[in-house]
DNA sequence: ACCTGAACACCGTTCAAGT
DNA sequence: ACCTGAACACCGTTCAAGT
């Protein structure tokens, strides 16, 4: 944390650039991370940027990793304390369904295919899938069925937010979570229908 | 279809530019539509482009509308012929689940929030939601429940493809559709569980 | 050790001038 | 009617030179 100065101005460090980059991601997605704009914003030249980072790619890489470590394992312990698996799922979904979602998260999800973003998304997703599998295992489902439902649940979560970024479509969005929780946690449905 | 020439070279029209633009979208998303690159590709100058289109925005707009009218109502009549609503849903999901998806579709879905893309996505999605609602209505569900399940089904579809663009994650993807169809078409689950 | 300033390539947009 | 070529602003990247 060396906060040196020169000629009155505070010298910049990697963290300053990364914070500015994450702000840009939140506002306009990864594409909005422009070295030139950040430099102007921070009162420096582009040349200065290249002292701290090899290139734009490294800035984005480092920024997303920073975000990941700060945001991915955040509410996990809290949720883990809920014993009933259905309630645990309900809590999790209410959390992400009703509240405003982290704009960085949305930006990353909708750029999951880009080579810069893919590894971050993969790591975060795997953590969450493991968490969901635990829930369905605790519900008494077989390993494979639990894995499949976890995928279904997470795919729904991702798609839901993808669709919700579109103002027009948000109107069609159901406002009760119960149905979703019910369906996801239903006993093996096909068998149910046969009785 | 005026195919004029001058000095040996065929003159370009709007359609030539739009085709090139859609190719670019398929390969690298909307961001890859660069007037400069397209011009080089087509053997023309950037200046020429601005004879046919007001700006880059209009090119993308027109291209996506062209794609929409060609791809959105394509297999609807064919699917509509299937009488059993569960089978209709199964057919629809198998179609999009197993086969390689149109890369333009994927590119658009993952840019659903961008102002240029949003209206197209909204129109296509609304058409498909209506179609899904029909299926659940035919299954005997009430209007509201049918609407909610349609949203669930479509959100899953979008999220599934979002996740599948990530090579790492595709491994966790379940390879049987049955579970998903079963859950989506299950009779009201909460009640089932209570008996 | 950290930054500036100039340079170059790429891209969006405009416009006078050419055919 | 359709296109070229030059111009300008924006952005990524490099590098010699400054403090």
Q: Which residue has the higher pLDDT, A33 or B109?
A: A33
Q: How far apart are CA A77 and CA A81, in angstroms?
A: 7
Same structural domain, A22 and A90: no
Q: How far apart are CA B186 and CA B184, in angstroms?
A: 6
Specify if A194 maps to a domain.
no
When the pLDDT of each residue in chain A is averaged and rounded to a whole number, the result is 84
- CATH code for the domain in which residue A16 is found: 1.10.10.60
Structural domain boundaries enclosing B31 = 5-61
Specify if A108 maps to a domain.
yes
Using the predicted structure, report yes or no on whether residue B56 has a pLDDT greater than 90: yes
B31, closest nucleotide (Cα–C1')? C11
Q: Are B160 and A162 within 8 A, CB to CB?
A: no
Mean of pLDDT values over B15-38: 94
Specify if B153 maps to a domain.
yes
Q: How many helices (H) and strands (E) does chain B have?
A: 12, 2
Specify if A82 maps to a domain.
yes
Same structural domain, A37 and A95: no
CA–CA distances in Å: residue B106 to residues A32, B16, B26, B30, B86: 21, 23, 8, 11, 26
Specify if B9 maps to a domain.
yes
Could you check: is the Cβ of residue A7 within 7 Å of any atom of nucleic acid strand C?
no
Highest mean pLDDT among A88-92, A191-195, B44-48, B176-180: B44-48
Same structural domain, B97 and B55: no
Place of tokens 């009760």: A176
Specify if A30 maps to a domain.
yes
Structure token pair of residue A133: 């599998």
Could you check: is the Cβ of residue A46 within 7 Å of any atom of nucleic acid strand C?
yes
Same structural domain, B113 and B159: yes
Set of chain A residues whose Cβ sits within 8 Å of the Cβ of B188: 182
- pLDDT band of residue A94 (cuts 50, 70, 90) is confident
pLDDT per residue as tens digits for the range A19-66: 999 999 998 889 899 999 999 999 999 999 999 999 999 999 999 999
* Dihedral pair phi/psi, residue B88, rounded to 5°: -65, -45
Nearest of A152, A160, A158 to residue A186 by alpha carbon: A152
Same structural domain, A83 and A36: no
- Nearest chain A residue to B126 by CA: give it: A169
Q: Is the CB of B167 less than 8 angstroms away from the CB of A118?
A: yes
Same structural domain, B148 and B55: no
Domain count, chain B: 2
Output b/e per residue, B140-152; b: 16+ Cβ within 10 A. Answer: ebeeebbbbbbbb
Count the helix, strand and coil residues of chain B and give each as a percent rounded to the nearest 5: 70, 0, 30
Q: Which residue has the higher pLDDT, A24 or A110?
A: A24
Q: Which residues pair with A9 in a beta bridge?
A: A6
Closest CA to the C1' of D6: that residue is B47
Q: Is the CB of B174 less than 8 angstroms away from the CB of A157?
A: no
Highest mean pLDDT among B27-31, B47-51, B141-145: B47-51
- Range with lowest mean pLDDT among A62-71, A162-171, B118-127: A162-171
Nearest of B134, B124, B46, B22 to residue A168 by alpha carbon: B124
Specify if A148 maps to a domain.
yes
Could you check: is the Cβ of residue A36 within 7 Å of any atom of nucleic acid strand D?
yes
Note the pLDDT of residue B193: 41
Q: Are A164 and B112 within 8 A, CB to CB?
A: no
pLDDT per residue as tens digits for the range B145-160: 899 899 989 988 888 8
Please identify residues in chain B, positions 31-70, with a C-beta within 7 angstroms of any atom of strand D.
43-48, 51-52
Rounded to 10 deg, the angle between the B143-164 and B85-98 helix axes is: 20
Specify if A68 maps to a domain.
no
Same structural domain, B90 and B39: no
Query: Which positions on strand D lie below 7 Å from a protein C-beta?
Result: 2-7, 10-16
Same structural domain, A47 and A119: no
Could you check: is the Cβ of residue B52 within 7 Å of any atom of nucleic acid strand C?
no
């Amino acid at each position: 944390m060396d906060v040196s100065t020169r000629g009155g101005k505070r010298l910049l460090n990697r963290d300053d650039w990364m914070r500015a980059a994450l702000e840009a991601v939140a506002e306009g997605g990864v594409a909005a991370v422009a070295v030139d704009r950040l430099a102007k914003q921070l009162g420096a030249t582009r040349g200065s940027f290249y002292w701290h980072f090899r290139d734009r790619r490294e800035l984005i890489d480092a920024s997303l990793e920073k975000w990941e470590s700060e945001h991915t394992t955040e509410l996990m312990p809290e949720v883990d304390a809920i014993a009933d698996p259905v309630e645990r799922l309900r809590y999790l979904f209410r959390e992400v369904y009703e509240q405003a979602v982290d704009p960085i998260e949305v930006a990353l999800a909708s750029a999951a295919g880009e080579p810069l973003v893919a590894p971050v998304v993969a790591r975060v997703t795997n953590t969450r899938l493991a968490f969901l599998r635990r829930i369905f295992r605790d519900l008494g489902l077989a390993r494979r069925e639990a894995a499949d439902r976890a995928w279904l649940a997470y795919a729904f979560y991702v798609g839901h937010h993808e669709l919700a970024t579109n103002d027009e479509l948000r109107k069609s969005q159901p406002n009760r979570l119960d149905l979703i929780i019910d369906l996801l946690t239903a006993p093996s449905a096909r068998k149910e229908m046969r009785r």
